C-alpha cells in the first residue's frame, strides 16, 4: 500500500477485498452516537397538561423501550434529556434552570408543546415565561397543545437524528475550552422575574428612570416656586 502522487492511498489488487480505507472518526462516531442515541434517559419532570401525554408515552402502549428511553430518571445527575412538558411559569423557571445545571454533559432539552415552546395559550399571562428557550438551549421543539404521544416520539426520533450528526472529535463536552460547561445563570424571582444575564441593561434602564424622575421633580419644584 503506497501513496500515489495525488496522495490517494493505492491498494494493491490482491488486497482490494481485504482492506478498508477509513479514518478513526468514521468508525468511532457511528458507534459512539449509536450507543448514546439508544440510551437517552429523560428526567421525571412534568409541569402541566403536556406532562400527562408524556406519562402516556412512557406507558406500555407506546413502548419507549424500543428507543432505549424507558428509563425515566428521578435525578438530573443521571439524566440526558430534559423534556419541558407544560407551561413554564416565572415561579418555576429558576428551578428548571437549576435542574438543567445539575445535568451532566452531553445533555439535551426538548420543548414539548405550545407552552414550553412559546408560551402557548398563556403567552400574555403575567406569570408565564413565553418559551423555555429564553433561558435554556432547546434542541427539539414538539408542536401541539398537547402533542400526542406519537408527536413526542417523533420529537425523540428527531433528537436521535441530531445526535447522529455529532462527532466525538468536535463534541464540546470533551474539549478543554468547553463553552457549554458554563452554568446557565439562574433567574431571580422577585416582584417579577429578573434575568440576571441582563443585569447591566436593567441597571442602565433603572438609572435612566431615576434620572428622569429627578428631572421631573426639579421641574415641578421650579413651577411651584414660580
Minimum CB–partner distance for residue 124 and ligand SF4 (Å): 14
> Site size for ligand SF4, by CB under 6 A?
12
Using the rule CB under 6 A, which residue among 40, 42, 43, 48 binds ligand SF4?
48
Would you give the binding string for ligand SF4 spanning residues 146-185, x where CB under 6 A is met? Answer: x---------------------------------------
- Select from 42, 120, 131, 187 the one that contacts ligand SF4 (CB under 6 A): 120
Q: Using CB under 6 A as the criterion, what x/- string covers residues 67-96 for binding ligand SF4?
A: -------------------xx---------
Question: Considering only CA atoms, which of 116, 101, 124, 125 is closest in space to residue 180?
Answer: 101
- Residue 131 in grid coordinates: 418559551
Q: Looking at 121, 167, 205, 218, which residue binds ligand SF4 (CB under 6 A)? A: 121
Q: How many other CB atoms are found less than 10 A from the CB of residue 145?
A: 12
Stretch that binds ligand SF4, among 15-23, 44-52, 67-75, 103-111 (CB under 6 A): 44-52
Output the smallest distance, CB 117 to ligand SF4, in A: 8
C-beta separation of 46 from 85 below 8 A: yes
CB 116, min distance to ligand SF4, A: 7
Stretch that binds ligand SF4, among 57-65, 109-117, 154-162, 195-203 (CB under 6 A): 109-117
Of 47-55, 59-67, 132-140, 150-158, the window that binds ligand SF4 (rule: CB under 6 A) is 47-55
CA angle 209, 215, 220 (to 5 degrees): 125
CA distance 160 to 17: 33
Q: Closer CB to ligand SF4, residue 116 or residue 163? A: 116
Print the SS3 string covering the chain: CEECCCCCEECCHHHCCCCCCCCHHHHHHHHHHHHHHCCCCEECCCCCHHHHHHHHHHCCCCCHHHHCCCCCECCHHHCCEEEEECCCECCCHHHHHHHHHHCCCCCEEEEEHHHHHHCHHHCCCCCECCCHHHCCCCCEEECCCCCCHHHHHHHHHHHHHHHHCCCCCCCHHHCCCCCCCCCCCCCEECCCEECHHHHHHHHHHHHHHHHHHHHHHHHHHHHHHC
Question: Of 101-109, 115-123, 160-168, 205-213, which part binds ligand SF4 (CB under 6 A)?
Answer: 115-123
- Does residue 187 belong to the site contacting ligand SF4 (CB under 6 A)? no
Using CB under 6 A, list all residues that contact ligand SF4: 48-50, 86-87, 113-115, 120-121, 145-146
Amino acid at each position: 500500500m503506497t501513496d500515489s502522487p495525488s496522495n490517494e492511498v493505492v491498494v494493491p489488487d490482491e488486497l482490494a477485498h481485504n482492506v478498508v480505507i477509513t479514518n478513526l472518526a468514521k468508525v468511532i462516531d457511528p458507534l459512539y452516537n449509536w450507543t448514546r442515541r439508544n440510551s437517552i434517559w429523560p428526567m421525571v419532570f412534568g409541569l402541566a397538561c403536556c406532562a400527562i401525554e408524556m406519562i402516556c408515552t412512557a406507558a406500555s402502549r407506546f413502548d419507549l423501550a424500543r428507543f432505549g428511553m424507558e428509563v425515566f430518571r428521578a435525578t438530573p445527575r443521571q439524566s440526558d434529556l430534559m423534556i419541558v412538558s407544560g407551561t413554564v411559569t416565572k415561579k418555576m423557571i429558576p428551578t428548571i434552570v437549576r435542574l438543567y445545571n445539575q445535568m451532566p454533559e452531553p445533555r439535551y432539552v426538548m420543548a414539548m408543546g405550545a407552552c414550553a415552546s412559546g408560551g402557548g395559550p398563556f403567552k400574555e399571562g403575567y406569570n408565564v415565561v413565553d418559551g423555555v428557550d429564553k433561558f435554556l438551549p432547546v434542541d427539539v421543539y414538539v408542536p401541539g397543545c398537547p402533542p400526542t404521544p406519537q408527536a413526542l416520539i417523533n420529537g425523540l426520533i428527531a433528537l436521535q437524528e441530531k445526535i447522529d450528526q455529532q462527532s466525538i472529535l468536535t463534541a464540546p463536552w470533551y474539549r478543554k475550552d468547553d463553552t457549554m460547561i458554563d452554568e446557565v445563570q439562574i433567574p431571580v424571582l422577585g416582584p417579577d422575574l429578573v434575568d440576571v444575564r441582563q443585569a447591566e441593561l436593567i441597571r442602565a434602564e433603572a438609572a435612566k428612570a431615576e434620572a428622569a424622575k429627578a428631572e421631573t421633580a426639579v421641574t415641578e419644584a421650579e413651577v411651584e416656586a414660580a
